[in-house]
């Protein structure tokens, strides 16, 4: 690009991808299953994300490659792993974005009952594709605005929750729930099983690596964006969840209602809960915009290495063909939700969590081999503290999280679906692409 993305826009692009429906809506599931110990889960998740990002940053600082972690995996782990992680990530995100389109369509139908879900979701997916075709600079500016709206929503919730608990801003008496009596309410299995969705609420940070090749001076921009992303995200997540636990009984939470909306409604602040519902729509659409940016770059990287149809390969600043192809795939997956049996569709979409964790695991293993072979990146930019021990801790942590997926009802299907995708892409590689 003639003018690259700066550190602020890269941070906002990352936050725009990360802070979405998985946090505003999906966080109800781990909170309900693990109880107050969810605070520990979010702290551990923050550390894991930080270590993964630093590992990715070190490799990106050494060389900003299109396809980011897929290209590094191709080089250090071989073309088979590079092929699998690229297509697994692309497929998982396509399915995840189709489910986000379903979610935002349902939310809009509550306000506008006359709108058909199929039409609303289709329009949002087309809009997402068109916005990405405008280019990285315009997309990053739009994402900056939407990310600020989402962050202000979290800050606003923290402000209101603190006022309710302390009595500073509200004169009336509110119901406050103590945490000490049942901190480990979900036990080990509830806590361990909840780590998948906790990591999913952090998911999307890898877009920093995917966008690095389009950043201005990646050696400085990428590390700054990583530090800002982790500090802002962890601070707001942990603060918001901690305060929420005082305002609503975690046992009554449901994945059908945002826990933040539930908490505010439970305390009688209906106007704030209505605002939070609007923010939820903005959050999901914003996530779709930014995620579509990442999967288009991943697809273009696969095409450059000959692992995708030649006709979608694009050497322009804006990979238009890959954006349209990915948008079409999301639209097809969305429409399949109305055609396939519900259990089949949920089974497919649930592979998204595994696909992301698999990508993060590959990032850590690739980085370990990178440091072992190359040493520190140029100019001494070693950023991951405690290497190789922190690498081992992160790898073991990710393996344990993947292994504990079946501890929460419904997540076992996601693990099976994800493993099935890994096997399928392995067979495709060995029978079609290995000879090439």
Contact 259, 28 (CB under 8 A): yes
Determine the Cα–Cα distance for residues 201 and 145; give it in Å rounded to an integer: 20
Determine the Cα–Cα distance for residues 83 and 150; give it in Å rounded to an integer: 34
Q: What is the pLDDT of residue 44?
A: 93
* Listed residue (147, 239, 259, 281) closest to 197, CA to CA: 259
Per the prediction, the chain carries an average pLDDT of 84
Tokens, residue 107: 């939310």
CATH number of the domain within which 350 lies: 1.20.1740.10
Residue of 105 and 122 predicted with greater confidence: 122
Determine the Cα–Cα distance for residues 156 and 7; give it in Å rounded to an integer: 25
Contact 90, 425 (CB under 8 A): no
Assigned domain for 124 exists: yes
Determine the Cα–Cα distance for residues 422 and 420; give it in Å rounded to an integer: 5
pLDDT digits (tens, 9 = 90+) for 237-264: 999 999 998 888 888 888 778 888 888 8
Determine the Cα–Cα distance for residues 370 and 368; give it in Å rounded to an integer: 5
pTM above 0.85, yes or no: yes
Q: How far is CA 201 from CA 161, 177, 198, 234, 404, in A?
A: 21, 24, 5, 11, 17
Q: How far is CA 370 from CA 53, 135, 366, 392, 400, in A?
A: 15, 32, 6, 14, 23
Q: What is the pLDDT of residue 381?
A: 65
Assigned domain for 2 exists: no
Q: How many domains does the chain have?
A: 1
Mean pLDDT of 412-430: 90
Assigned domain for 215 exists: yes
Determine the Cα–Cα distance for residues 86 and 302; give it in Å rounded to an integer: 7
Strand partners, 354: none
Determine the Cα–Cα distance for residues 376 and 388; give it in Å rounded to an integer: 12
Q: Is the pLDDT at 209 greater than 90, yes or no?
A: no
Determine the Cα–Cα distance for residues 355 and 92; give it in Å rounded to an integer: 6
Assigned domain for 206 exists: yes
Determine the Cα–Cα distance for residues 217 and 10; give it in Å rounded to an integer: 12
Assigned domain for 238 exists: yes
Assigned domain for 1 exists: no
Report residue 378's pLDDT band, with 50, 70 and 90 as the boundaries. low
* Listed residue (193, 205, 230, 196) closest to 357, CA to CA: 196
Determine the Cα–Cα distance for residues 269 and 266; give it in Å rounded to an integer: 8
Question: Range of 91's domain?
Answer: 7-433
Q: What is the pLDDT of residue 241?
A: 93
């Amino acid at each position: 690009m003639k003018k690259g993305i700066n550190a602020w826009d890269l941070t906002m692009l990352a936050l725009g991808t990360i802070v979405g429906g998985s946090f505003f809506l999906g966080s109800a599931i781990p909170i309900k299953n693990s109880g107050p110990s969810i605070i520990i889960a979010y702290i551990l998740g923050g550390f894991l994300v930080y270590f993964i990002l630093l590992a990715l940053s070190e490799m990106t600082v050494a060389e900003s490659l299109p396809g980011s972690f897929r290209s590094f995996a191709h080089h250090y782990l071989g073309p088979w792993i590079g092929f699998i992680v690229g297509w697994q990530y692309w497929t998982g995100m396509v399915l995840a974005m189709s489910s986000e389109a379903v979610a935002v369509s349902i939310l809009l139908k509550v306000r506008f009952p006359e709108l058909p879900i199929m039409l609303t979701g289709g329009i949002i997916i087309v809009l997402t594709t068109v916005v990405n075709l405008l280019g990285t600079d315009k997309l990053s500016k739009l994402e900056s605005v939407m990310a600020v709206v989402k962050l202000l929503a979290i800050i606003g919730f923290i402000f209101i929750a603190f006022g309710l608990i302390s009595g500073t801003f509200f004169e009336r008496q509110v119901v406050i729930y103590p945490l000490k009596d049942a901190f480990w309410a979900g036990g080990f299995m509830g806590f361990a099983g909840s780590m998948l969705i906790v990591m999913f609420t952090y998911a999307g940070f890898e877009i920093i690596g995917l966008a690095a090749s389009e950043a201005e001076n990646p050696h400085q921009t990428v590390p700054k964006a990583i530090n800002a992303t982790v500090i802002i995200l962890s601070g707001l997540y942990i603060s918001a969840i901690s305060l929420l636990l005082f305002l609503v009984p975690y046992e009554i939470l449901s994945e059908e209602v945002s826990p933040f909306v539930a908490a505010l409604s439970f305390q009688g602040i209906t106007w704030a809960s209505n605002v939070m519902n609007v923010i939820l729509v903005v959050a999901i659409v914003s996530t779709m915009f930014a995620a579509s940016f990442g999967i288009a770059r991943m697809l273009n990287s696969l095409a450059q290495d000959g692992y995708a149809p030649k006709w979608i390969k694009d050497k322009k600043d804006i990979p238009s063909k890959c954006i349209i192809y990915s948008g079409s795939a999301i639209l097809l997956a969305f429409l399949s939700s109305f055609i396939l049996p519900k259990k089949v569709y949920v089974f497919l979409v649930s592979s998204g969590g595994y696909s992301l964790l698999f990508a993060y695991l590959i990032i850590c293993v690739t980085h370990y081999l990178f440091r072992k072979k190359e040493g520190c990146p140029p100019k001494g930019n070693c950023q991951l503290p405690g290497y190789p021990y922190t690498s081992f801790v992160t790898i073991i942590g990710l393996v344990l999280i993947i292994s504990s997926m079946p501890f929460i009802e419904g997540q076992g299907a996601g693990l099976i679906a994800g493993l099935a995708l890994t096997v399928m892409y392995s067979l495709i590689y060995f029978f079609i692409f290995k000879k090439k």
